[in-house]
């Protein structure tokens, strides 16, 4: 109740005021004080309030008076329960309803119940996150199947160059497609349809330079085409269709320990998986383009997606440097991308909960630091036994994993330039040491670079995400 309207007793509102509490309540029994006015005629008039009767009434209605923030709310409650002017005066000795309401308001301490906990808006889809991690690693089965058919050492430079360019292009295109997805599925589909083929052609053309043409260019083209198509399906959330398209690879790799499939099957199964992926991608894009266009949508600037592409290039170089020494570590990192994505969602959900539970910026900063440490520990802890199992250096693997996760965390909050700059510096420094064989040597270049990058990224995360504003 607010506003300039007078609610003091004595006016016409004394008999017409009928205020009801908001919300629906279960039916309540009639209060024991709500008696027929005729039975009060035998009571003697009082010279003042009956404190005992008022205290009993306060105890009876304490659970409903406690949340009130003004005596007028208590007056509305009493009137809603049928308290009349004569009952107020005869039984409780107060001249009017507002006087009794003020007395009750003073007697009952304020108790403000906590609101019902809201659903976590960042609750992750566990199955989808784990499936994405598996899908990142499954294409490696194609190289396992076709390994006896081609010279891996001779083809490697061209495939590495094509893979790095495809990774960088895919990161930038995926970010731009997600921005367009906010406007509509048709807009995102048009962006992917225009950008994915261009990325595949550019990666293939650049890979043809070190290859000098020949069969390796076809392999690079197949790899680039798959990465472009898979990126489209992942952006549009069709992970299960991609898994179905890769089923020939799964079947072929599953029989390798017991049966030699032969050259035709070794080459045919990856080709079948590629054709299935391209077909599924075309079908999904057709469905996306069939959606009506959104009205009034604006195209985001291309510059907004540039840091995401630079981060993709830097991450690819760092992973490549790790794979030179420990090939199995790359498989571990690839599979861990699913749990990493799950933890990104959990970080955001825990941060929103911390925002509701703290009342000061310093308190939120402490909670945010704890959440960051908890998520990093949850991500890195399973990687330690995996590194020991594969024989990889656990220090280098864990530091690289920490760099990738914290960089992805910053990107999720829009801090793309800082994460891209730090990762590019680490990749450039470690790559230069390995390429030119500078001291302190290639063995320490990657751990030192990743360690420095992880510290810088963690500091940026605390500085940016330790404030309530990014989580509001």
| pLDDT, one tens digit for every residue, the chain (472 residues) | 344 434 344 444 344 333 333 344 444 444 554 444 434 434 445 556 778 888 888 888 888 888 888 888 888 888 888 888 888 888 888 888 888 888 888 888 887 766 676 777 788 889 999 999 999 999 988 888 888 887 766 678 888 889 999 999 999 999 999 999 988 899 999 999 999 999 999 999 988 887 666 778 888 899 999 999 999 999 999 999 999 999 999 988 888 888 888 889 888 999 999 999 999 999 999 999 998 887 777 888 889 999 999 999 999 999 999 888 888 888 899 999 999 999 999 999 999 989 888 888 899 999 999 999 999 999 999 999 999 998 888 999 999 999 999 999 999 998 999 999 999 999 999 888 877 776 656 678 889 999 999 999 999 999 999 998 888 7
> Rounded to two decimals, what is the model's pTM?
0.77
Q: What is the pLDDT of residue 21?
A: 36
Measure the CA–CA gap between 361 and 340, rounded to whole angstroms. 28
Region class of 113: left (phi > 0), else alpha (psi between -120 and 50), else beta: beta
Rounded distance between C-alpha atoms, residue 337 and residue 309, angstroms: 18
CA separation for the pair 108, 95 (Å, rounded): 20
Distances, alpha carbon 282 to alpha carbons 155, 172, 233, 275, 320, in Å: 29, 21, 10, 11, 31
Rg (CA), the chain: 34
Report pLDDT for 442. 62
Whole-number pLDDT of residue 25: 45
Distance, CA of 143 to chain centre? 33
Task: Return contacts of 355-360, CB within 8 angstroms, 24+ apart.
Answer: 355/468, 355/471, 355/472
pLDDT at 42: 41
d(CA 404, CA 412): 12
Q: How far is CA 64 from the centre of its chain?
A: 39
Considering only CA atoms, which of 305, 302, 308 is closest in space to residue 424? Answer: 308
Say what the pLDDT of residue 411 is: 94
Q: Is omega for the bond preceding 127 within 30 degrees of 0, making it cis?
A: no
Token pair 């099957």 in the structure block, residue: 265
CB-hemisphere CA count at 13 Å for 22?
Answer: 3
Alpha-carbon distance 155 to 141, whole Å? Answer: 17
* Pair 309, 168: CB distance under 8 Å: yes
**Where are the extended beta strands (E) located within 90-201?**
none
Long-range CB pairs of 424-428, under 8 A, 24+ apart, other chains included: 424/310, 424/311, 424/313, 424/314, 425/453, 426/314, 426/318, 426/450, 426/452, 426/453, 427/313, 427/314, 427/315, 427/317, 427/318, 427/321, 428/314, 428/317
């Amino acid at each position: 109740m607010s506003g300039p309207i007078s609610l003091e007793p004595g006016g016409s509102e004394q008999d017409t005021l009928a205020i009801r509490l908001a919300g629906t309540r279960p039916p309540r029994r009639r209060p024991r004080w709500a008696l027929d006015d005729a039975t009060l005629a035998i009571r003697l008039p009082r010279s003042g309030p009956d404190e005992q009767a008022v205290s009993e009434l306060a105890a009876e209605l304490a659970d409903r008076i406690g949340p009130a923030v003004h005596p007028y709310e208590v007056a509305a409650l009493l009137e809603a329960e049928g308290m009349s002017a004569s009952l107020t005066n005869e039984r409780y000795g107060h001249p009017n309803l507002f006087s009794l309401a003020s007395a009750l308001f003073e007697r009952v301490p304020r108790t403000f119940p906590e609101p019902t906990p809201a659903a976590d808006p960042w609750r992750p889809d566990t199955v989808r996150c784990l499936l994405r991690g598996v899908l990142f690693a499954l294409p490696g089965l194609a190289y396992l199947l076709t390994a006896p058919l081609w010279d891996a050492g001779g083809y490697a430079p061209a495939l590495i160059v094509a893979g790095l360019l495809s990774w960088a292009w895919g990161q930038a295109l995926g970010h731009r497609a997600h921005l367009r997805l906010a406007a509509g599925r048709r807009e995102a589909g048009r962006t992917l349809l225009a950008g994915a083929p261009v990325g595949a052609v550019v990666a293939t053309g650049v890979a043809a330079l070190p290859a000098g043409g020949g069969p390796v260019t076809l392999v690079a083209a197949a790899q680039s085409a798959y990465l472009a198509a898979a990126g489209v399906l992942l952006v549009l959330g069709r992970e299960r269709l991609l898994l179905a398209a890769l089923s020939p690879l799964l079947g072929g790799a599953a029989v390798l320990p017991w049966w030699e499939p032969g050259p035709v099957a070794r080459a045919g199964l990856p080709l079948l998986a590629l054709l299935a992926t391209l077909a599924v991608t075309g079908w999904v894009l057709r469905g996306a383009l069939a959606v009506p266009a959104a009205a009034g949508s604006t195209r985001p600037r291309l510059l907004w997606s540039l840091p995401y592409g630079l981060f993709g290039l830097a991450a690819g170089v760092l992973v490549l440097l790790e794979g030179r020494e420990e090939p199995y570590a790359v498989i571990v990192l690839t599979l861990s991308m699913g749990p990493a994505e799950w933890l990104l969602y959990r970080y955001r959900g825990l941060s929103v909960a911390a925002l509701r539970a703290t009342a000061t910026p310093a308190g939120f900063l402490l909670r945010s630091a704890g959440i960051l440490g908890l998520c990093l520990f949850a991500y890195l802890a399973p990687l330690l036994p995996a590194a020991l199992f594969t024989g990889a250096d656990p220090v280098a693997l864990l530091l690289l994993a920490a760099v990738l996760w914290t960089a992805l965390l910053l990107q999720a909050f829009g801090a793309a330039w800082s994460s891209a700059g730090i990762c590019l510096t680490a990749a450039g420094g470690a790559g230069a040491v390995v390429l030119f064989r500078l001291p302190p040597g290639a063995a320490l270049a990657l751990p030192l670079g990743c360690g420095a990058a992880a510290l810088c990224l963690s500091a940026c995360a605390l500085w940016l995400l330790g404030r309530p504003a990014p989580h509001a």
